[in-house]
Amino acid sequence: KAGVTQTPRYLIKTRGQQVTLSCSPISGHRSVSWYQQTPGQGLQFLFEYFSETQRNKGNFPGRFSGRQFSNSRSEMNVSTLELGDSALYLCASSLIALGQETQYFGPGTRLLVL
Amino acid sequence: KQEVTQIPAALSVPEGENLVLNCSFTDSAIYNLQWFRQDPGKGLTSLLLIQSSQREQTSGRLNASLDKSSGRSTLYIAASQPGDSATYLCAVSRTSYDKVIFGPGTSLSVIP
């Protein structure tokens, strides 16, 4: 069974640009969550999607948005990039409920904003 | 607001030692607690998940305990090996459908 995949793995952008990250969950998993990980703030929850609907949201500005498609694949978009957005972005999938069962994480996308 | 802390922030032990990692959370109304492992620059791997009604879970050399009333969990690693070197994170969720809150992690180094 293939694991969670994320593309691209590495990305370099400049301030003001926008970026789209992609996450393909494990087959059959319907919940996809996104996290931002930085040395200073640790692992912070961005949002969770289930059946194409955002079910949970963390405390991030509106520049961070996401969506989920009918095949459960998810994308995350960050507009008007800032230097502080440089981070490892992780997505995780679970069968139904992110707080109920094991989450399976992808390898992450490392974003560098210059 | 739920806050999760982990002590120590870093730990270095010789191979073969048994060790304990600690996780504390401020709101005892949790649904479950999970322990993860993260290797440098990589994603997280789930190690153990303890439901709020459980006291402990075991997997191989790993044993995790949960004391909801005191807001604490411990991860016990027996007979540590160099391959155990990684960052260990604990995470809690308030309900089955709520977001997961992570601790800052404990960086473990096992010296051969």
Q: Report the pLDDT value the prediction gives residue B14, as an integer from 0 to 100.
A: 97
pLDDT of A34 over the 70 cut = yes
Residues of chain B in Cβ contact (below 8 Å) with chain A: 31-32, 34, 36, 41-46, 49, 89, 93-105
Mean per-residue pLDDT over chain A, rounded = 93
Burial letters B65-104, b for 16+ CB under 10 A, else e: bbebeebebbbebeebeeebbbbbbbbbbbeebbbbbbbb
**Among the partner residues B46, B89, B104, nearest to A102 by beta-carbon distance:** B46
DSSP 8-state assignment for residue B84 = G
Over residues B4-25, the mean pLDDT reads 96
Q: Give A9→chain B minimum CA distance, Å.
A: 10
Q: How far does CA A65 lie from the centroid of its chain?
A: 9
CB A46 within 8 A of CB A54: no
- Within 8 A of A107 by CB-CB distance, chain B residues are 42-43
Q: Report the pLDDT value the prediction gives residue B4, as an integer from 0 to 100.
A: 95
Separation between Cα atoms, residue A96 and residue A28, nearest integer Å: 9
* Those residues with Cβ within 8 angstroms of residue B60's Cβ, 6 or more apart along the chain or in another chain: none
pLDDT of A95 over the 90 cut = no
The amino acid at residue B108 is L
Q: Report the pLDDT value the prediction gives residue A5, as an integer from 0 to 100.
A: 96
Bridge partners of B20, per DSSP, are B76
DSSP 8-state assignment for residue A103 = -
Q: What's the pLDDT tens digit per position in B53-111?
A: 999 999 999 999 999 999 999 999 999 999 999 999 999 988 766 788 999 999 999 99
**Among the partner residues B46, B99, B100, nearest to A104 by beta-carbon distance:** B46
Q: Give B10→chain A minimum CA distance, Å.
A: 14
pLDDT of A99 over the 70 cut = no
**Among the partner residues B41, B46, B95, nearest to A103 by beta-carbon distance:** B46
- Within 8 A of A4 by CB-CB distance, chain B residues are 43
Separation between Cα atoms, residue B62 and residue A49, nearest integer Å: 31
Name the residue among A34, A42, A44, A52 with its Cα closest to residue A92: A34
pLDDT of A36 over the 90 cut = yes
Over residues B37-62, the mean pLDDT reads 92
pLDDT of B41 over the 90 cut = no
* Those residues with Cβ within 8 angstroms of residue A74's Cβ, 6 or more apart along the chain or in another chain: A22, A23, A25, A32, A34, A49, A66, A67, A68, A91
Q: Report the pLDDT value the prediction gives residue A97, as an integer from 0 to 100.
A: 66
CB A12 within 8 A of CB A62: no
Q: Report the pLDDT value the prediction gives residue B43, as an integer from 0 to 100.
A: 87
Q: What's the pLDDT tens digit per position in A43-67?
A: 999 999 999 999 888 999 999 999 9
A55 with B97: Cβ contact below 8 A: yes
pLDDT of A101 over the 90 cut = no
Separation between Cα atoms, residue A60 and residue B5, nearest integer Å: 21
| Comparison of pLDDT for A4 and B95, the residue scoring more | A4
Using a pLDDT cut of 90, give the percent of chain A over it: 81
A88 with B104: Cβ contact below 8 A: no
- β-bridge pairing B106-111 and B10-14: parallel
